[in-house]
């Protein structure tokens, strides 16, 4: 059981080395493990008393719809990430969540949270840290949408995703598997799908990176980092936090 929770353990371990009892405490989510197929939302904006989850396998996206039918993808979540914790605290979901691929997730409720806070303040701190990291990612996306042009945005996006996947062992320094479509990228980065396509071509032709057939390959990592002004500082506070 703890086996499947590896992604979350990997992530929290980046913050602090967990004791056996803390690992056990995490493993004691005996709430149902659920699977969702593409097309079935895990959560709907406006829904009351929604359930939160820990994502064990697969990718999901969080989004908001506009009246015009357009959507803005707030973020993608990968294994080890929390889903809908904010909505749980707000008691009304402020965004929707849908699978990108078929997924496996464990439910968590308010009672589980409170239990963790009671049983292990250290674990609670690790979880708050993980939540804060999610917040930092959203803020960084905000900067992208506000002040970066299309190439910088796309480059930054793939670098950040790579860094997140690396933490849970799903990426190497060279690239990673990525199940997103160009429409996903467009809705996440505030661009049109057509323009995303042109930008991807440019990145490919300039031999910076390649996104094709569900695979991301970094052809010139350093130059890409420079173009995107990518700074990992907001993501890997792990080392700094251990003292």
Partner DNA sequence: CGTTTCATTGAGTTGAGTCAACATGGGTGG
Partner DNA sequence: CCACCCATGTTGACTCAACTCAATGAAACG
Task: Name the site residues for a second copy (rule: CB under 8 A).
Answer: 46, 48, 64, 66-67, 70-72, 74, 86, 89-92, 94-95, 114, 117, 121, 124-125, 128-129, 131-133, 135-136, 138-143, 145-148, 189-190, 229, 233-234, 237, 240-241
Asked if 215 touches DNA (CB under 7 A), the answer is no
Asked if 182 touches DNA (CB under 7 A), the answer is yes
Is 56 or 187 the residue whose CB approaches a second copy more closely? Answer: 187
Which residue blocks in the chain are alpha helix, DSSP H? 6-13, 20-27, 85-90, 110-119, 121-147, 150-167, 182-189, 193-205, 221-228, 238-241
Is 67 or 212 the residue whose CB approaches DNA more closely? Answer: 212
- Span interacting with DNA, options 49-57, 80-88, 132-140, 198-206, rule CB under 7 A: 198-206
Helix (H, G, I), strand (E, B) or coil at 45: coil
Apex 184 CA angle, 79 and 168, nearest 5? 20
CB of residue 131 vs DNA: minimum separation in angstroms? Answer: 30
Which of the listed partners (a second copy, DNA, none) does 30 bind, with a CB threshold of 5 to 8 Å by partner kind?
none
**DSSP result, 70-98:** -EEEEEEE-TT-EESHHHHHHSB-SSEEE
- Span interacting with DNA, options 53-61, 102-110, 125-133, 176-184, rule CB under 7 A: 176-184
State how far the Cα of 239 lies from the Cα of 202, in Å rounded to an integer.
36
Q: Which among 113, 16, 15, 24 is positioned nearest to 5, based on CA atoms? A: 24
Asked if 193 touches DNA (CB under 7 A), the answer is yes
CB of residue 114 vs a second copy: minimum separation in angstroms? Answer: 7
Which of the listed partners (DNA, a second copy, none) does 197 bind, with a CB threshold of 5 to 8 Å by partner kind?
DNA
Using the 8-state DSSP alphabet, how is residue 218 labeled? E
Which of the listed partners (DNA, a second copy, none) does 172 bind, with a CB threshold of 5 to 8 Å by partner kind?
none
Is 58 or 84 the residue whose CB approaches DNA more closely? Answer: 58
Answer for the pair 106, 56: CB distance below 8 angstroms, yes or no: yes
Cβ partners under 8 Å of residue 212, min gap 6: 204
Q: Which among 30, 29, 26, 53 is positioned nearest to 120, based on CA atoms? A: 26
Contacting residues toward DNA, per CB under 7 A: 149-151, 181-183, 190-195, 197-198, 200-201, 212
């Amino acid at each position: 059981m703890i086996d499947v929770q590896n992604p979350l353990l990997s992530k929290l371990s980046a913050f602090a080395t967990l004791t056996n009892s803390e690992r056990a405490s995490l493993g004691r989510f005996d709430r149902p493990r659920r699977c969702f197929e593409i097309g079935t939302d895990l959560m709907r904006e406006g829904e009351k008393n929604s359930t939160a989850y820990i994502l064990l396998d697969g990718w999901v996206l969080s989004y908001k719809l506009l009246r015009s039918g357009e959507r803005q993808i707030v973020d993608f979540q990968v294994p080890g990430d929390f889903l809908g914790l904010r909505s749980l605290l707000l008691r009304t979901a402020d965004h929707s969540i849908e699978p990108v691929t078929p997924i496996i997730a464990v439910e968590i409720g308010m009672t589980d949270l409170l239990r963790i806070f009671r049983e292990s303040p250290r674990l609670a701190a690790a979880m708050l840290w993980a939540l804060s990291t999610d917040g930092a990612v959203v803020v960084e996306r905000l900067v992208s949408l506000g002040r970066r042009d299309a190439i910088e945005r796309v480059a930054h996006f793939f670098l950040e995703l790579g860094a997140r996947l690396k933490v849970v062992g799903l990426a190497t320094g060279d690239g990673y598997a990525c199940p997103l479509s160009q429409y996903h990228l467009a809705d996440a980065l505030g661009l049109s799908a057509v323009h995303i396509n042109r930008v991807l071509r440019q990145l490919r032709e300039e031999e910076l990176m390649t996104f094709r057939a569900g695979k991301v390959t970094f052809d010139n990592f350093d130059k890409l980092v420079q173009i995107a002004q990518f700074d990992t500082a907001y993501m890997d506070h792990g080392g700094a936090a251990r003292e």
